[in-house]
A and B are shown apart, each in its own frame.
Chain A
Amino acid sequence: MKRLLIFGLFVLCTGASLLGFLQYKVHRKSVCAAWLQEAQSAEQAGYYADAIDQLTLYFSEKNCRSKSDPGAIEILARARPMVPLPGGGELAQQLSLSRLGWRLERNAEFQLTQAKAALAQGDWLSASKLTASSSSGQSALIRIAALVRLKNWKELQGFVDEMDTMSLSPFQNALLKELLINSPVTTPSQPVRSDITSLAKAALRGGTEDTQSLARSVKSLLTNDDLTIATALLAASGRNDIVTSLLDQPERPLSQALLKRLAFQYWSKKNYPALTNMPARGAETPLKADILLMICLAERELAKRCSVNFDVADYSRRYGDYAAGHWGNLFKLLGNWATPAHEIVDALVTMGDLISKGPVAYQLLSSLYLELDEPELASRFERAAMMFGLTPSGKWHRSSIPAWTSRLNEGYHPTARQLADLEEASPDQAILWRLVKSRLALSKGTDEGAAEALRIIRPVLGWAPEVATAQLLAASSTAYFGDHEAAYGHLMNAVKADTASAIAALRLSLHFYNQKNGLTATELNHWWESISRTEVGNKETEMTEAKSRQLLVERALILAAIAEQEKDELLAKNAYRSILKKQPDHHVAMNNLAVWLAKDERQLKEARKLTLTAIALDPSQREYLLTLRDIDRALEQVVES
């Protein structure tokens, strides 16, 4: 009986365990399905980061892997580009995703993005191929435009015949007709209002008609897809007024892309009141941060304040922590009028890829750098902003660069405290404090000091290679460690950037030579010649050939004089030979070289030859006769011995 009881208990335990295990498996499956469902819902509602979180859970679990994987990848591929990662990591992930799922590659929505890029590059063949499997209006128009450009009439006719023109909007139908107007392809005709046809014409071919009133009459008839196509075409041809008119529909919920285009139009026209009213208008989802930035700056222009409502938690769920954190910090800084300029620059620079496509951020950076007395960096961002037609403007922020910095060029040596104050009042990406700090570190004359100097100044070489002082400091640091190849490169860069730095470069190279840590006389001579040649090359327009040669000879003479003073035989010989190469009749160089050569009995014959030539060129020089006498005596002694 006891054994039976134990056996029964054993069977019961085993059965319960088995059931529990099966129940657990079922539960795991339901968890997987729930994650996928939540990801889908979140992505559709614009909560891309939430969707990615759910999908990460889904993909982390081996039990979840099933036939629904391609669907999950599609959601991920849609959500991933919307959630920025540091260093543009989201794009790399997107690329690796596109290699994963075969359904993804054939998905029309993703092909459309690539087709647009191909069209913009003029790659008509790729554009037509990428849109081949799509049925959307935009894809069809891209394909038709590409085939027209390729003059592939046969394929175009086949495509148009198969096309369901009924599914196209009136505006898209009008565009289709306009695209095919000069082609042998025939299309089934759909009745389109004349004003819509005029807009399509204006979008594709331009025109002089009153587009403003045209826009006003048709804008309510266009779908959001139509608006995207029309405004893209009109903006590309520089017809910004009509773009603004088309998008200026306060009651209509527009996509983020269209709102951004509208905000940019307001910003570039300095229509700040319209910008500040944007939060009140209809939108499909809350305004994205780059639009809010324009609104914030417009508010600052108008009322010296920025009160945009940026919901960090909601933004984080939509576009991820990285974007939400950085934008949240920026709006916090901009919200306070007293925020120093350098803090805003630091915030903007650390945002990296988040602002890389934003001309307004470049414009802001350019203005801030001007205020921070960093003209080189200001012009760098100004160039980027000007590509979008924006120039630095406004006095938005306060900066407190100490007054003593203006005396740096006169050789002023700041104290450590002053330097710390300057660093405190400057952004990390700045040139001035780096130049001062690097110079101070280098002056310590230690390994650590030279390494620190190079570490501090190196970023400047990337941001603004035209800053000659930075190049000279880098040359000094690398030369300290005996890396003369790098030092030479930096000296040459300095002279190329600013010919006025040639003298400093020559002096430095002489200093490196005197340090005796590996730079040879031949190399020094070569450096002097190259630096001087580069200097002459940069001044080419203002110097004749004779003057250039004269300068090169003078430089070599200075080097020779230094060598004579230091009794440096090798350097002297090199310098004189260098002079004779440029000016073969320079009798002083000949005589002086002969004197040095005469010290070596193997070179006495060459010395004699040189002296005789020097005497022939200027027989009045008694010195040359004395040199000849010394050489002849030396030759006699050699013969005797």
Chain B
Amino acid sequence: MMQLSLHSIYISAQAIGAGLLLGPFAVASLQSERWPILVLSCLSIVLISGNTSIVRDRPVGTTWMAPVALAMLILGLVLSVNKLLLIAGILLLTSVFLTKMPLPRCRSIAIIACACLMVPLPAALETELATSLAYMEASMFVAIGQAMNLPVRLSGAQIFFEHSVVTINQDCSGTLLLIPALLGSITAATLSRKTRCAVIAISLALPGVLLINLVRLAIVLGLLANGNNELADEWHDILGFSALAFSWVAPLWLFADLEAFNHRNTPWIALSRALPPLLIGGLASVAISMSDSNRSAPKLHLPTYVSGWVAEDFEIPPEEIRILNADHVSRRRYTSENGEFLLTIIYHGDPGVGREHSSERCFRAMGWQVEKHDNMPVEDANLLTFLTVSSGGHRQAVVEYEAEYTKSSGGLLRIQLVTSPELTKRQQQDLILQFTKKTLGDET
């Protein structure tokens, strides 16, 4: 009896831990466009666990999972890597699940994989992946177009068609489709009767995503080429969500044996016992994170006038705000007899998140071609980065000042200057340092 009670406490502790680690992430995901990924992951887990086909495979042990999760938790805290904390939470959650419902090894691994796919890739990796996909898709489009004797040409991830330009950026590259495609493939592989089908299902995930996204982009590009910009914007999103569902369903439809699924096979009652501690942990961490976020971001104001440069507020596109995911962001346009430039101040309360949002990555994510020139340390710990970015034949110089903001709870501050590429590096440096000094004084 005593032994059983200790076991229950152990399971409950794991569930609370999972709740604590995953609560704010789950809430944020459900509020963002990532909610379909969470839903599809859960559906995949249900399908895999409900598989009734007989497998001569021993159930996987769960005792290793909690220590591994703990190690990841410590590592994540020491290195300030949030993703490791989320993986630790996922491991605790699957540990609870697999303890309540022991499954053969391959299905257990599939469930762990599906759960891990809920966690978004690190921003840097996602941007790199998205850029590569965008370049690949743009090249394929242009090759097909030119084979059809259409006057299309390529520049980076931009497609030039007569006098219009279409940029394949992070949003359109289909990076998000990769996850449902992988979820669908893993689920189909687990539900398929033959090993050959399982291998094909997994290996077709990437080409399948490319194909689905190409079809989606072809429709959007067709609308853009006809000048239906608003309609293209609408269909961009509609087709995006449809493609998300389709890339999950397609491998299941092609390779899975859905007759092997029986919903009664899932131990709902046993699992429901783990739900209260999971919810308690989740709600507690959401409450903590909300009170944490109530501590407002520092009041940062770009100056109205500096040595002949006069400011006016400048609206930031919603797409950019979303990509930046910052606690404070504001932009002003400065003009003088010598020209004009844009200055943006970006503050991330979490320096880890802040570091993922460098100008270089954000411009890449928006489909710009980026050429990095130099990194220059200034004022001991702060950093200046010089870039030249181009899009649709338009070039501009970008200088970024990055500093730890010591006045608040150690967030990361970026001041980004976008100006004419004709200014020399020295002029760019003088300009940004002049404005940084005026904006921050001795605050960093």
Contact = CB atoms under 8 A, between A and B. Distances in A.
Interface of A: 24, 27-28, 31, 53-54, 56-57, 60-61, 321, 447-448, 450-452, 454-455, 458, 461-462, 478, 481, 483, 486
B373 interface: no
Contacts of B337: 458, 461-462
Nearest to A62: B154
Given A447-B305, A481-B305, A454 B149 contact: no
A60 B151 contact: no
Contacts of B146: 28, 31, 61
A500 to B, nearest CB: 25
B153 A478 contact: no
Contacts of A61: 146, 153
B304 A448 contact: yes
Given A28-B146, A481-B304, 20 more contacts: A53-B162, A54-B151, A56-B153, A57-B151, A57-B153, A60-B153, A60-B155, A61-B153, A448-B304, A450-B304, A451-B304, A451-B305, A452-B312, A454-B310, A455-B312, A458-B337, A462-B337, A478-B308, A481-B305, A486-B308
A578 B259 CA distance: 104
A451 B308 contact: no
Given A455-B335, A461-B337, A27 B307 contact: no
Contacts of B163: 321
19 contacts: A53-B151, A54-B151, A56-B153, A60-B160, A61-B146, A448-B304, A450-B305, A451-B304, A451-B305, A451-B311, A451-B312, A452-B312, A454-B305, A454-B310, A458-B310, A461-B337, A481-B305, A483-B307, A486-B308
Nearest to B153: A60
Contacts of B6: none
A185 B217 CA distance: 73
Closest A-B pairs by Cβ, 4 of them = A60-B153, A481-B305, A447-B304, A451-B310
A283 B308 CA distance: 53
B3 to A, nearest CB: 58
B4 interface: no
Contacts of A458: 310, 335-337
A455 B310 contact: yes
Interface in B155-176: 155, 160, 162-163
B147 interface: yes
A635 B7 CA distance: 99
Interface in B272-307: 304-305, 307
A483 B151 contact: no
B302 to A, nearest CB: 12
A70 to B, nearest CB: 21
A24 B305 contact: no
A24 B310 contact: no
Contacts of A461: 337
Main secondary structure of the interface of A (DSSP, over half): helix
A256 B304 CA distance: 51
A448 B310 CA distance: 9
Nearest to A54: B151
A347 B35 CA distance: 50
A54 B149 CA distance: 12
B390 to A, nearest CB: 14
A546 to B, nearest CB: 40
A60 B336 CA distance: 37
A57 B152 CA distance: 7
A60 B154 contact: yes
Nearest to A452: B312
Interface string B327-345: 0000000011100000000
A455 B154 CA distance: 40
Interface in B328-383: 335-337
A321 B162 CA distance: 11
Interface string B132-160: 00000000000000110101011100001
Contacts of B312: 451-452, 455
A481 B163 CA distance: 45
A229 to B, nearest CB: 39
Contacts of B162: 53
Nearest to A462: B337
A486 B310 CA distance: 13
A483 B153 contact: no
A321 B336 CA distance: 30
Contacts of A31: 146, 149
Contacts of A454: 305, 310
A409 to B, nearest CB: 27
Q: Which of B153, B154, B160, B336 has the most CB of A within 10 A?
A: B153
A592 B47 CA distance: 100
A447 B310 CA distance: 10
Nearest to A32: B146
A24 B335 CA distance: 52
Contacts of B147: 24, 27
A488 to B, nearest CB: 13
Nearest to B146: A31
B439 to A, nearest CB: 14
Contacts of B308: 478, 483, 486
Contacts of B149: 31
Contacts of A486: 308
Contacts of A452: 312
Interface string B380-415: 000000000000000000000000000000000000
Nearest to A485: B307
Nearest to B150: A57
Nearest to A53: B151
A321 B308 CA distance: 36
Contact of A483 (B155, B305, B335): B305
A486 to B, nearest CB: 6
Contacts of B307: 483
Contacts of A24: 147
B400 to A, nearest CB: 25
Nearest to B147: A27
Contacts of B154: 60
B150 to A, nearest CB: 10
Contacts of B305: 447, 450-451, 454, 478, 481, 483
A447 B311 CA distance: 10
Interface string B70-113: 00000000000000000000000000000000000000000000
B167 to A, nearest CB: 16
Contacts of A455: 310, 312, 335
A541 to B, nearest CB: 32
B305 to A, nearest CB: 4
A512 B131 CA distance: 55
A514 B87 CA distance: 65
Contacts of A447: 304-305
A452 B310 CA distance: 8
Nearest to B149: A31
Contacts of A60: 153-155, 160
B107 to A, nearest CB: 33
A312 to B, nearest CB: 13
A439 B241 CA distance: 53
Interface string B249-290: 000000000000000000000000000000000000000000
Contacts of B155: 60
B207 to A, nearest CB: 16
Nearest to B151: A57
B395 to A, nearest CB: 12
A53 B150 CA distance: 12
A237 B308 CA distance: 48
Instruction: Kindly name the residue among A450, A451, A483 whose own CB sees the greatest number of chain B CB atoms within 10 A.
Output: A451
Nearest to A455: B310
Q: Which of B155, B160, B304, B337 has the most CB of A within 10 A?
A: B304
A329 to B, nearest CB: 17
User: Residue among B146, B162, B163, B311 with the most chain A CB within 10 A?
Assistant: B146
Contacts of A451: 304-305, 310-312
B208 to A, nearest CB: 20
A488 B230 CA distance: 51
A481 B147 CA distance: 61
